[in-house]
Amino acid sequence: MRRRGALVLLGGLLAGGAAEADSLDVLRGFIADVKTGSAAFTQTVTSPDGAKKRSSSGRFEFARPNRFRFDYKKPYAQLIVGDGQKVWLYDADLNQVTVRPFNEALGATPAALLTGTSLERDFELKALPDEGGLQWAEALPRAKDGSFQSLKIGFRGKTLAAIEIVDAFGQRSRLDFSQVEANPALAAERFRFTPPVGSDVIGS
């Protein structure tokens, strides 16, 4: 359950033509203009029946194309690094590394949406009504065999504010971002991972 929570980050009527243009234009502008990003995040995962919730927090960084880093600090130390070729997940408590080919691990996922360059090819986009002070757009994966049912992304102005994901099992994950920086200088080393000496490495 911890791993699924780490790897994961709708409905409603359209709010009219102007709102659609606004939310989708903001999303497209974000993908086109923000080449690197950094933010703190809080993730809340809710069970399909809504009865159970668990929270985690950490820091997120990305660089296009296809590089990202989720550094979970609480309640458990976990690190997920995508280097464009592979995705590495390191569980510090278990001293265990899981590695998968990038395309196999990502597909049409939230990380692919934020770090990729094929927005319209991989996702069907739709505007959603404003909610909670944010502009929302929905991105449905065109591939029907993905790991999640739906994804919506929220902006405050032009700033990334939240992502909400419903996975294939009906589990809902929401990531709320703060301290967001657009186009910071990020060292290439941030998106490289070498398994610690003595760690158990699973995958290839």
Model confidence at 145, pLDDT cuts 50, 70, 90, reads low
Residue that has been written with the tokens 């069907």 in this structure: 124
Tell me the C-alpha distance between 151 and 138, whole Å: 6
> CB under 8 Å to 158, separation ≥6 — which residues?
26, 29, 30
pLDDT in the model for residue 151? 87
- Tens digit of each residue's pLDDT (9 = 90 or more) over 6-56: 444 322 222 233 444 488 999 989 988 999 999 999 999 998 888 888 999
For residue 98, the tally of other CB atoms under 10 A from its CB is 18
Q: Tell me: pLDDT of 106 over 70.
A: no
Helix/strand/coil (H/E/C) assignment for every residue in 115-152: HCCCHHHHEEEEEEEEECCEEEEEEEECCCCCCEEEEE
What's the whole-model pTM score? 0.81
Q: Tell me: pLDDT of 190 over 60.
A: yes
Is the domain spanning 2-9+14-203 CATH 3.40.50.2300? The answer is no
